[in-house]
Structure formats: structure tokens, C-alpha cells
Amino acid sequence: MDLAGVYDNPQYYEIAFSFRDIPAEVDVFEECFKRFSQIPVKSVLELGCGNSPHMEELIKRGYQYSGLDLSKAMLEYSREKALRIGAEVNLIHGDMVDFSLETEVDFVYVLLGSLAAKNTSEQTTHFDSVANVLKKGGLYLLDWCVQDDPPWVSESGGNWVLEREGIQVKTTVLWKAINPVEQTFEETLSMEVNDHGEKLNIVGKEIKRAIYPQEFLCFISASKHFEFVGWWNNWDLRQPLEQANKFDRPIALVRRI
């Protein structure tokens, strides 16, 4: 089983992950552009864009949006969203582990730990692909892609309930170790949905690979395409990750050289 079941239900996925303050997160993008980008930013690419939660806000602020995803259902959902707001966007069906684009972009981002590389060689092809589509001097922002402890040790998982327009979604996340040497673990995501009385239980499982901070730094410093810029806890540029007791949605920023 993979997470397809979850990603085949973009409307419920969107409710489940609607705890984010999207305008505030786009403010953080823009603060990064101002402080750290060496090129002006007009075009952005979201990897594993799914339902493209930041698309509308980015378009409102004048950016050209591209999103890449493996799930056709998610891409269709984003396409309809763009149509509703009359925006022209570029939604691409592809695998972030190894991809290419026709034109380069000024900024790339991946959210909620969606970096899909399951081993070092996939991580290498992923970063090579990003290097091929990102202009020199441009930034790549990774949200929650670097771990402090193995998730299965520090967390037992968690659950939360969110509701929108009469649809309630209870989301549960669980982690289980698969192989400590390969740093792989299984993530189970369940959504218990109550859609105006109709009840559904949607479950997906995915193998993920943890990346630890010093390993990330080594990987980036060995790369001929990227340099490390910084990392911060909780999407707050006043909280360098070095000062964090516990990672909570850390963002890491690298720049194309």
C-alpha cells in the first residue's frame, strides 16, 4: 500500500493539512528572497505540490507558479483551483527523484517532509534535477526534510481534527522503523472523514528516509551545485536551528551555485 489513497482524496487531504498559516509562510518565502536570493524571484516551483496550498497566495503576489507531482488526482485538483481563480499555472506530472523542466525557475520548494528520496542515490538524482531547473543564485527551501531524532523514537505519532464546510477530518500519523542503517521508516497516514454524515476511513503507507543535520551539511558541502544558507525552527527566521531543543517544522535553505 502507498499513500495513493490519501492523495487520491485531495479535498480531504487539504482539510487535514489546513492548520498552516499560508500568507505567513509566503511572507517567510519573501523574506528569504530578500535576504538570501542572489537573483530576483518571479517564478517558483513546488515539488510534491499536491493540492498546491500556497499557489493562490503566490499568484496574488505576482509570482508564476509551477507544481510537480506524481498524483494525477492532486494535479487535477490544483488545476481546477487555478481555473477558479483564473490563473495560468504550470502543473507537471513527474517524479521529483529525477525530473527536468523546459524552463528554469527562480525558486524551488518542498513542504511537509515531502522529499521523496528513499536512499542516497535518489537523493543525489533529486538534487541534480533541482540544480538543472534552478537558476544560479536561486534558493531551494526544504520544509521538515531534516530530522533531529529518528521519528519513531522521538514521536509516537499524533492526531488532530479539522473541519471545513461541514466536512470533518481526523488525521493520524504513525511512524515505525524499517531499517536503521538505511535510516528508513514507514509512515502511516490515516484520515477518518465525516462528510455530511458519510463516513470514510482512508489509510496510506509510505517508506521514507530520515536525513540528519550533519549528514545534510556534508551532502550539501560535497555538492558542486549547492551551498548551505541556513536553517530555522518553526518557520521563524529568528530561531536558528542550532538553538532548538526540539525540531518543529524546521526549514532548511540552500542556494544554487
Ligand X SMILES: C[S@@+](CC[C@H](N)C(=O)[O-])C[C@H]1O[C@@H](n2cnc3c(N)ncnc32)[C@H](O)[C@@H]1O
Provide the binding-site residues for ligand X, judged by CB under 6 A.
Answer: 7, 17, 46, 48-50, 53, 68-71, 74, 95-97, 111-112, 114, 116
> Cβ 38 to ligand X, closest distance in Å?
25
Quick one: 46 or 56, whose CB is closer to ligand X? 46
Quick one: 43 or 114, whose CB is closer to ligand X? 114
CA distance 27 to 32: 9
15 half-sphere exposure, CB direction, 13 A CA radius = 20
Quick one: 46 or 106, whose CB is closer to ligand X? 46
Quick one: 217 or 247, whose CB is closer to ligand X? 247
> Cβ 109 to ligand X, closest distance in Å?
9
> Cβ 8 to ligand X, closest distance in Å?
9
Quick one: 155 or 217, whose CB is closer to ligand X? 155
Sheet of strand 167-179, all strands in order from the earlier edge strand to the far edge: 158-164, 167-179, 184-195, 198-209
- Closest by CA position to 47, among listed 138, 136, 143: 143
- Closest by CA position to 44, among listed 111, 112, 90: 90
CA distance 134 to 227: 13
Residue 50: all three cell numbers together? 499536491
> Cβ 100 to ligand X, closest distance in Å?
13
Handedness of CA 57, 59, 65, 69 (dihedral sign): positive
Quick one: 10 or 138, whose CB is closer to ligand X? 10
Residue 237: all three cell numbers together? 527566521
In this structure, are residues 194 and 206 in contact, taking their beta carbons and an 8 Å threshold?
Answer: no
CA distance 128 to 99: 9
